[in-house]
Structure 1
Amino acid sequence: MFTLLRQENRKLMHYRVIQLFIPFIMIFQFIIAIYAAHYPQLLTPYDAFVNNDYGFIPILFLTITIGSTYLTNERQNGTLRALLYRSYSRTQVLVSKWLTILGLMIGLSGFSTLMSLGLKLSFFRRLPNYGTIWHTWGLNMLSTGLTLLFLMSVVLLLGTLFTSSTPAILTGIIGYFIVTIFNQLCFYLYAKVSWLKWNPLNMINLGEQIQTPQLQQLTRLNLSTLTIGYIAYLLLFLTLANYSFQTRNV
């Protein structure tokens, strides 16, 4: 298993898109910080910092792209079949890829966080302490991370269902926008039809509800129940992905 993880990490680090992404996210967050410094009436330095200079946006789209196409690209290139011919089970191969993508997500998020801290020290040393800025910043990071993790479980399932990378990417990205839009609309439905609150779309609000406990009035679930539902759906999507991978030809 450790050999598989080393191979997957080495393979992923040779992706051209990932090599270009590091300087890209540095430039992206730098531009956001400069914009906030020069146009605080449109984007305050406080909002820019507590949202990590919006570094989660490019990270989100990169991880959706990688998660959607990681298996399909290898299936098309024939390298996936070569792995399965060796002494590894399908589950071992799949889990090694999942852990590699998770490590990529954590690594990029950590890099983005360090970049944001560096920009704060460079441009926003005297930010007003609105209700403990560090507390707000930390909760934002937790909320974003939980949302991204849940979305990735869905994207990884999609990656096992498609044989071509293009529809996998499009489905992942379009699905994200659909989730974002309909999540707000669903709050109204939860008040009218109680059982709808158990749908997976509601569980994605866990991070937001940790940050804003008053959101319980909209999700109709307390924090403990929402956490259990979040974990249950996360495991369900990963289990379905594993089942799909086990039953499909490669």
Structure 2
Amino acid sequence: MAEQGSGAQLCAASAASCLLLACGYVGSLYVWRSQLPRDHPTVIKRRFTSVLIVSALSPLWLWMWRQHTGFKTGPPLLKLMGVHLEGIVAATCLPLLLTMVLFFGPLIQLVMDYPWDFIDGVKMFLAHFHHVIELLKFRQGTVAGIFLSAVFQFSYTAVFGAYTAFIFIRTGHLIGPVLCHSFCNYMGFPAIGAALDHPQKLTIIFFYLLGVVLFFLLLFPLTDPAFYGSLAVCHLTRPDTSTSVCT
């Protein structure tokens, strides 16, 4: 019973540490006082500085947490964090390919609408959701509309966060989630309304559905740990010494 209690406390401490890291990352975006919108170059530079500092300090936080809890790890800490070369080619290509399959419909729509300049088409198609505070601050829409947008954004980002965490756990690499995040930020949320109003909507809807079906069919095959090296799936065991080891 005491060992089970210790394990529960370790899990609680782990969850609390993850929450603090996430809050520290998001909170660092708001330490700067400014009346400028979030897309202003000055604000972007300040936020980039904040997240760079937090990201650089995160390994130190993880090391301190390990020292405090006595958690023992076999592989080096950076390797556990997904920074290593074993299986790097697959980790760079396959998760990004999987994410692009999910966006098959929007990509086909871009090709159809902007056949001569794909990059400019992607830029025009890009859609980002602004934060609630900024929307209220600059009076961009009604209060009800702003909060409905925020709820939608929270749901979308929560699902995407679970997806990138899944990729990290399955591959053991950081590069895959980073590239997928960058791609999704660049694409934005699919403009389903525009697809339904498109002159060739049946074709586009077909590719939307095909992309979703292929995504779920390929989700586990393309994230098979066998592609990514010996540290693709990290699982905890409790040996006789009652210390946890990550293998």
What TM-score does the superposition give when structure 2 sets the normalisation length? 0.37
Higher relative contact order (CA 8 A, sep 6+): 2
Max radius of gyration: which structure?
2
What TM-score does the superposition give when structure 1 sets the normalisation length? 0.37
